[in-house]
Amino acid sequence: MARIIGGLGSPHAPSIGALIDAGDWDHPDWLPLMQGYRPMQRWLAARRPDAAILIYNDHVTSFFFDRYPTFALGVAAEHPIADEGFGPRPLPPVRGDADFAWHMAHALVEDGFDITVCQEMPLDHGALTPISALWPGREVQPELGWPTAILPLAVNVLQFPIPTPRRLWQLGGALRRAVEAYPRDYDVVVLGTGGLSHQLHGERFGFKNEAWDQEFLDRLEHDPQSLAALRVQDYVERSGVEGAEEIMWLAMRAALPERVRRVHRNYHGPLHTGFAQILFEDPSLAPILDTPPRVAQ
């Protein structure tokens, strides 16, 4: 039987991808953040999941505001690298698993999620930044390919009305049920992406709220349903309009058991965005890494 063994949270800012492509992991302004990926990389290398469900948002690359789906699932065996205006990143096409993806599509619809099913969905920085940070080296040696199949699940957090935090919580539960119904012996991780607090336009341009970011991470671990009970407006007020990306982390958390083991947590906010990394695992698994302190504040 398939199972979800862990959940990861990561930012997806394009600036992080640019550092990776330049090989600048030790840039002094970004070092506390980039170091935060190292425990996650070691954990993934040790656990070797068969697939990662990637919850992200498309930045008007595959979808435009004239037709922007609430939930879109990529079911292809391979996902192209999108050109966001500067040429595609030097990464190999992202490996999928069509059999698993189609199973998830059918299971989600049967569970009440009327998703858009995409047989071709180029991936932009919303997806590529986290996977290139968690499985690095493909920007240097694209022939390596990707060690884990990626199932991209795009969520509309850009054009209102966006789904409620409660709906993302329900999505996480549906993902867990769908995975557990997959008949193969298959280990899956769920990856929630996006910045924490940030707003990149309007009167509150540059808004960042570290106090809320830390509270969000605390509650995500210990009291996630209280986050699901908030309104989208609450997230906008506390974390900025773009900070509504936090609801994608809720789906990751809801796909995990009620109690989780927190393996890693890190926070860094060098510019206009609160960046965080977190790693939870199923506590029934034998630990493989010592739980480290937060890398940076």
Catalytic residues: 125, 198
183 burial class (0-12, 13-18, 19+ CB within 10 angstroms)?
Answer: exposed
User: Which tokens hold the place of 43?
Assistant: 């954990």
- Report whether 244 contacts 235 (CB < 8 A): yes
Number of Cβ atoms within 10 Å of the Cβ of 14: 16
Nearest to 209 by CA among 201, 217, 159: 217
259 burial class (0-12, 13-18, 19+ CB within 10 angstroms)?
Answer: exposed
Give the Å distances, CA to CA, from 139 to 2, 49, 160, 271.
30, 21, 35, 24
Peptide bond into 152 cis (omega under 30): no
What phi and psi, each to the nearest 5 degrees, are found at residue 278? -145, 150
For 204-218, b where at least 16 C-beta lie within 10 A, e where not — what string?
eeebbbeebbbebbe
